[in-house]
Structures are given as structure tokens and as C-alpha cells.
Amino acid sequence: SDFYHALISHMHGRRASSLAGGWGGGGQRGENMNRTANPAQCRQPVESAIFKVCIIHNGVVSLHSPSVSLCLFLQAYPLSSLSKKQPTVLVICGPEQNGSIGLVCARHLRIFEYEPTIYYPKRSPHSLHQDFTIQCEKMDIPFLSYLPTEVQLINDAYNLVIDSILGPETDLQDVKEPYSGILATLKQVKIPIASVDVPSGMLLLKLRLRLLNQGLLYTSLYKCCFCPSKGWDSDEASTDGINPEVLISLMAPKKCATSFSGKHFLAGRFLPYDMQKKYELNLPEFPGTECFIEL
Amino acid sequence: MNHSSGEKEPETVESLRYLSKVEMEVLVTELLKDYHFGQQQLIEIWGHACAVAITKAYPLSSLSKKQPTVLVICGPEQNGSIGLVCARHLRIFEYEPTIYYPKRSPHSLHQDFTIQCEKMDIPFLSYLPTEVQLINDAYNLVIDSILGPETDLQDVKEPYSGILATLKQVKIPIASVDVPSGWDSDEASTDGINPEVLISLMAPKKCATSFSGKHFLAGRFLPYDMQKKYELNLPEFPGTECFIEL
């Protein structure tokens, strides 16, 4: 695509100058979060831009998921904090990349001695995602064949729910069963929900396109009512989404997450400095070798 | 993680297994075929774990030179790619890696790793100085990811024999990935390079029994089934660490 070619030539140009000038990297590591980018600069959402660079999907998912699970283990929901007898966690995985991130996250949670259970109603036909499924099965992680509609069963069986159903790439016009049913159930659960990247079901396609056209850096991937001052039309109000306790943004926080009132983490520490600078992400400094940080 | 009946300390009957070359190959093949791990995924996991182990063995504050420079020498096969990924993570951890990758693999997988490093502005040397003092002066340590357990030592030609000869003379510390390059993975080495640190991947190799420096085990992802099946008796990794000092 156009962007890819632009990025490659950018890369070559950059290399030439950096070899002459020594360390060009370093990035901008200020405390400044969520800067609105110069509209002239951004042509695409950051996520799809990165996916077009030579980082294979396998790699991207692998890079994200350990960060998510580490974040959960160390900060958000340490084993010692879980109230039930067994450290059970329900991981709900959607059909696309967000779902695969959930699968790998579940595998890592298992390594960290949680007891994850996966609900993965619509398996992706993509061989890459199938690999992740098999890896989980071989770690003896149970897969549910259906999600109880009786919410109390979920409340009783699990300590928390990991929502990796829908991600920023989802076209919300397309959200059908079983996901709308799952989201309806999730709205009623009493146990905490931690969402991966985006709380599932938050955005209407129309709104997303409009914001892209306005040249905002991030598609607004969050619930309308968190940003009441933005003046969006009431008929474009988002569907009532779920209300997670924890949001784990991947790579960079999404714009309206500034109004998210729960615990907000940024996970995934691998973005090339070039990209960080180019999109003026101003990511915070990750402590030591940590790959996540609380915002 | 060792899940056998609750004991914490490895007893003599259940001590950590050191694998032979053949056993390693069987293990990796099974991981790829039966467990459907991707090769890129494995290399990424290992490279990252190596980098984290390096930050423990050689923390930024302990480096004596003004800049936290590290020389990463990468061979043509998987061991080299692990070095590339390790370099990239070291960059993220604020070291200043420089890569020497004389023979680039034609495999597209490995080329991707090269591009990822280039895009992190990691310099690639076009040649390795034979004047050892230049290396001693410029870098704090060398990461040896030249040859791995899969290498057939009969096949080692230039430029690797020359590189190994240079490495035998450097004064700065060497950290080897998986096996010290030039060592036979099954036997004690007689005249090979002498790294200060060895970072074994997944499980230590037989040749490491004679290794006398700091020995780490890196990479925490092996399914329990495999650990039991091959009686690896891996030690318990602390907390969420992906490496452990043996």
C-alpha cells in the first residue's frame, strides 16, 4: 500500500542519516500523554500502520500478550488478591486479532499459575490463530462450549473476566451473534472485567470514520458518554458498552481513554522509536525491563 | 515450572536435565509440529528472554564505558536471529547494541528480524576489526550468537573461524547464547572461546556441565506436558521472570 512504501523510503533515508549521526533514536519520552497529533501528519490509525511494517502478525500478537498477562499478574490482579479458592479467570476471545491476543494471554496466565478458562465461540480459520488455539489446548486450558446466560454462574466460578472479544480493527456494523449476546451477559456480571485494548462494543463505524476524516491521531475507540464535550450527535451515541474495571491499552492509549475512570495500563514495549516520534506518541518511560506501565 | 508433586528443591533423582544435540532437535521439532508454535514466535521469545537475562548479568549501571555499548555478533542460522531479536530488546532497554551480521540468512523470516533491527536504528558493522584492542575499547561486552546447538562443527568456515579467533583474544566479557560458539553441544570444550556468561535456551545442553561461568536459563513457555515427557525438571522461575540463574 502507499503507506508501506512511504515507510520503507523513510526507513532508508533515516538509516543514511543515522549512520552519519550516531544514535538518532531515543524517542520522546515525556510525561505528555495523548497528544493530539498534527492533522497533516497522520494518515492512518497507528495500529494498521504498524501492521503493514515488516512485523509479522505472529510477532505482533506474541509481543502484546505477555505484556497483558504480566500487567494483570503484577499489578491489576495479583494471585494473592483473588478472592475465590482457585485463581480462576475467564478469557473471552473474539474471532480476530484481539481474540488471538487473548489466547496467548491465557497461555501466559497459565504459566504464571492462574487457572484460565477460554470461551472462544467462533474460531478464526486463519492458520496463525489456529496455532494459538492448539498451543492453549496443549497447556490443558479448558475451552467452554457455551457461555452460561445465568450470570450468577459466571460470578461464582471466576475471579475476573478478560475481555478480548473485539478490538480496534472491528467493524461494529458487523457485530452479530454470538457477540452481542456475550456483551449483554458481560454487562450484568458482578466480577471485574479487564479489557484488552478497547472495551468491546464501544464504537460505531460512522463515528470512527468521522474522526479519521478529522485527522485525529487515534480513532476514538471509546464510549461516547465519556467524552460528552466533543459534541457528537445523539443519534451517533455509542451502544451501551460494558464497563470494565481495567483497561489495558496496547502500544498506545486510545484518545478517549483519557476519560476512562478505571485502572488504565499501557502494555507492549517494542515500538520503534521512529514510529513513536513520527506519530508523536510521547510514550511514558517503562520502568526497568517492564513491558507495561500504569497510566 | 516443575509441577511434579510439590517439592521445591530439585533432588538428585530429579535434577535439571542437560540435553544432547539429538534430544534438543526432537524437542524443537515437537514444539513446532505438535504444539504449533511458530518459529518466529520461538525466536522472539528466546531473544527477549536473552535480553532480559543480559540486563540482569550486566545491568546498565555496571557497564564501565561511557556509553552502554554492546557488540552482538550474529551467525547465519537460528542462533543469529535470536541475537538480532536480543539486540532489538537491548535497544529498548536503553543499551546501545551494534550488530555484526556478516552472512545474512536468505530466509525471509530472518530478514524480517534484520529489518526490525534496522528500523530501531541499530548500526550494522560491515566488518569486524581484527585489531582486538578496537573492540575492547569500543564495547562493554560481546554477545555471541554465532553458532548454535544445531551447527555441524565440521562446517564452520570463514568468516566464523576468523571471528572466533578474534573472540578468543578480546578482554571484554562475552555472553554466549545457548552454546558458546565453537563448542560441541555435547562435550566439554577444549580450546573454544571462554564466555563469562552462558544463557541456555529452554534447557541447558550437555556441554554446559563443564561451563564454569555464570549460567542462566532463559525462556519460560514450555508446555508442562513436554517438561514431564522429557523429564526436564526445570527450576521454578521466580515470580514472572522469564529467566533464572542456575
CB A153 within 8 A of CB A63: no
| Tens of pLDDT, residues B191-221 | 788 899 999 999 999 989 888 899 999 988 8
> pTM for the whole thing?
0.74
CB A70 within 8 A of CB A292: yes
Q: Which of B38, B119, B239 sits opposite A58 (nearest CB)?
A: B38
Q: Which of B51, B89, B118 sits opposite A11 (nearest CB)?
A: B118
Residues of chain B contacting A, Cβ within 8 Å: 1, 34-38, 40-41, 44-45, 51-52, 55, 88-89, 91-93, 96, 112, 115-116, 118-121, 123, 220-221, 223-225, 239-240
Rounded Cα gap, residues B48 and A96, in angstroms: 25
Helix, strand or coil, per DSSP, at residue A51: helix
Check A273 against B35: CB less than 8 A apart.
no
Work out how many CB contacts closer than 8 A connect A with B.
83
Please say whether the dihedral angle defined by the alpha carbons of residues B79, B84, B88 and B91, taken in this order, is positive or negative. Answer: positive
Residues facing B26 on adjacent strands: none
Rounded Cα gap, residues A206 and B177, in angstroms: 51
Q: Closest Cα of chain A to B40: distance in Å?
A: 7
| Tens of pLDDT, residues B216-236 | 999 888 888 899 999 999 998
Predicted pLDDT of residue B80: 93
Check A134 against B35: CB less than 8 A apart.
yes
Mutate to test the interface with A, among B202, B240, B241, B244 (most CBs of A within 10 A): B240
ipTM here: 0.75
CB B211 within 8 A of CB B245: no
Chain B residues with beta carbon closer than 8 angstroms to that of A135: 35-37, 223
Distance of CA A161 to CAs A36, A99, A116, A220, Å?
A: 32, 13, 10, 24
Rounded Cα gap, residues A184 and A253, in angstroms: 25
| Tens of pLDDT, residues B26-76 | 999 999 999 988 888 889 889 999 999 999 999 999 998 989 999 999 998
What's the mean per-residue pLDDT of chain B?
87
B36 → chain A, closest CA residue: A131
